[in-house]
A and B are shown apart, each in its own frame.
Chain A
């Protein structure tokens, strides 16, 4: 089954040179800057970064859900071979929830508080399929059962406030996967949940995505989540992807100093008793970005060139790449 083939797999989603700009009183602010990544069918890509690194905006832009004053100012979003950046609202609506789906961070506010669960699931089915109400209902029950909600028949007529946070996130996942989308973008869906529930949800999504061949883009600030879940990883800093590669490569031998700092600041059993490493300084304000490499004011090895020139993308033969003038050598 898992035989490696030489044929090139067409990516489920390929984001190319995407930029998102917000128009503010102080002028345009670029929240996502020249971001490129791809994810293959059945693959899991972890997008890691701190708050304000542009990872959530990247997810929304991919879904075509950026509202004014923001807009996609450059780049392409290629879903199953077709550029969907800038297609009509009508076409985009047909794709959203159907071929590309998204779940969000806060399960408490993701479901509409005044609508019943069955309404919220069935409307997502009928938005994309001509199907009878009874058939949609049966599908809704199956979907709830698939995400591990006990006795789904009796839970259908409940309202969101009658579910726990974890259960609500399961409902959201069930809705997102109704049409077996090519891509699921998960924007920190476990951050607001208890650790034990987090693990269950992670496992559930991973299993369901694998079953339907859905490519998963998992946005998180939590490196440990990515370590256990993702195949590849993209690290974002100040609106750019600064390093990308397979999880094993990036986590064991980070080439970018920001990635190395992130990894060092994760508490670990192996370093018990030692002070946790910190990255000095704080993330830059998007409206007032440092020149050159945005990380240089916080970087221990920065030099003259780092403050003047944006580092070019350095490619490894293995497909790994980074943006740094002084990349770390493999550990």
Chain B
């Protein structure tokens, strides 16, 4: 286990380093921030002074070393727009997005797994066919369109739910959370549902395929021959086997939801990380973009690690550390 953790840590460090190189080079290729920071009427001497202040007159490897050194100390630069640390800016937005993504993930599992299992158990029934064909819509309809339709229905016509924004927040463990209040939920439910509709279509299809394969397995037949109830066979024997591949996909999807909910957060004017990314790109707030990319990389690495741990919990044949242990 310890060997596994160490190896995993090494791999993660490598991923982060690679990402840092890529991000740094990409940003460097975009041109010098001096053009943006200096006033239009600044002369060359002023521009040089500005470049020297930010270390932009140094050769590329030196600049990269400085960037890496600062990054290792948790300093990814200060936002041009907000005038404070880029990480702090992201940290303020992160809870909003995590809240949204977690809720969407929960919805997609709660909707997708039961429907997928039903469709997999009765592939020829009307319900099974209806679920599978509806899931194609969930796949192919664009996310932003579904979001706008939901706003139209629930906010404009029915007036039940707010059209956008985030509800009031309270501080929980140092994070500003809105799921603590009913008003917060009222704001969360539409964007979460929109995100979840697409994801649950994916989960439905995964679960349907998994169920259809697993019900033909001999251990399911033996479980029936033992006289177990269908409930137990489905909820224990089938589900535990079926969730193994589903967990992997859900992990990736969860990471993607945190990192790239740009569209949904824009449609719902939701002050999360995705919206921050778009704003920062528009305002050329480079430190925030860089910090954003680094933070999402860390999040992906973390989620993959959690998925690995879940694997071990679900499948006893998987041992962390590989064949050497």
Q: Does B7 contact A (CB under 8 A)?
A: no
Q: Does B46 contact A (CB under 8 A)?
A: no
Of the stretches A35-43, A101-109, A147-155, A241-249, the one at the interface is: A101-109
Q: Does B148 contact A (CB under 8 A)?
A: no
In the bound complex, residues from chain A placing their C-beta under 8 Å from that of B226 are: 96-97, 101, 123-124, 127, 175
Q: From A96, A105, A109, A159, give the contact of B219 (CB < 8 A).
A: A109
Known: A97-B227, A109-B217. A114 touches B240 (CB 8 A): yes
Q: Does A112 contact B (CB under 8 A)?
A: yes
In the bound complex, residues from chain B placing their C-beta under 8 Å from that of A127 are: 226-229, 232
| A110 to B217 alpha-carbon distance, docked (Å) | 8
Q: Does A259 contact B (CB under 8 A)?
A: no
Q: From A65, A98, A109, A123, give the contact of B224 (CB < 8 A).
A: A65
Per-residue CB contact flags for chain A residues 275-307 toward chain B (1 = under 8 Å, else 0) read: 000000000000000000000000000000000
Q: Does B316 contact A (CB under 8 A)?
A: yes
Which among A103, A123, A176 has the greatest number of chain B C-beta atoms within 10 A?
Answer: A123
A107 closest partner in B (C-beta): B218
Q: From B223, B227, B232, B315, give the contact of A95 (CB < 8 A).
A: B227
Q: Does A229 contact B (CB under 8 A)?
A: no
Q: Does B15 contact A (CB under 8 A)?
A: no
Which secondary structure characterizes the binding site on chain B? helix
Per-residue CB contact flags for chain B residues 282-315 toward chain A (1 = under 8 Å, else 0) read: 0000000000000000000000000000000011
In the bound complex, residues from chain B placing their C-beta under 8 Å from that of A115 are: 236-237, 240
**Chain B positions 211-228 with a Cβ under 8 Å from a chain A Cβ:** 217-219, 221-228
A108 closest partner in B (C-beta): B218
Q: Does B53 contact A (CB under 8 A)?
A: no
Count of A-B contacts judged by CB separation below 8 Å: 81
Q: Please state if A94 and B240 are interface contacts (CB–CB under 8 Å).
A: no
**Chain A positions 67-105 with a Cβ under 8 Å from a chain B Cβ:** 68, 89, 93-98, 101-105
Q: Does A327 contact B (CB under 8 A)?
A: no
Q: Does A207 contact B (CB under 8 A)?
A: no
A60 closest partner in B (C-beta): B221
Q: Does B58 contact A (CB under 8 A)?
A: no
Known: A114-B314, A114-B315. A124 touches B218 (CB 8 A): no
In the bound complex, residues from chain A placing their C-beta under 8 Å from that of B221 are: 65, 104
| A176 to B223 alpha-carbon distance, docked (Å) | 11
Chain B nearest Cβ from A173, distance in angstroms: 12
Q: Please state if A113 and B219 are interface contacts (CB–CB under 8 Å).
A: yes
Q: Nearest 8 A-B pairs (CB), nearest first?
A: A97-B227, A97-B226, A96-B227, A109-B218, A159-B316, A124-B226, A112-B219, A102-B225
B interface residues, Cβ below 8 angstroms from A: 124, 217-219, 221-230, 232, 236-237, 240-241, 244, 314-317
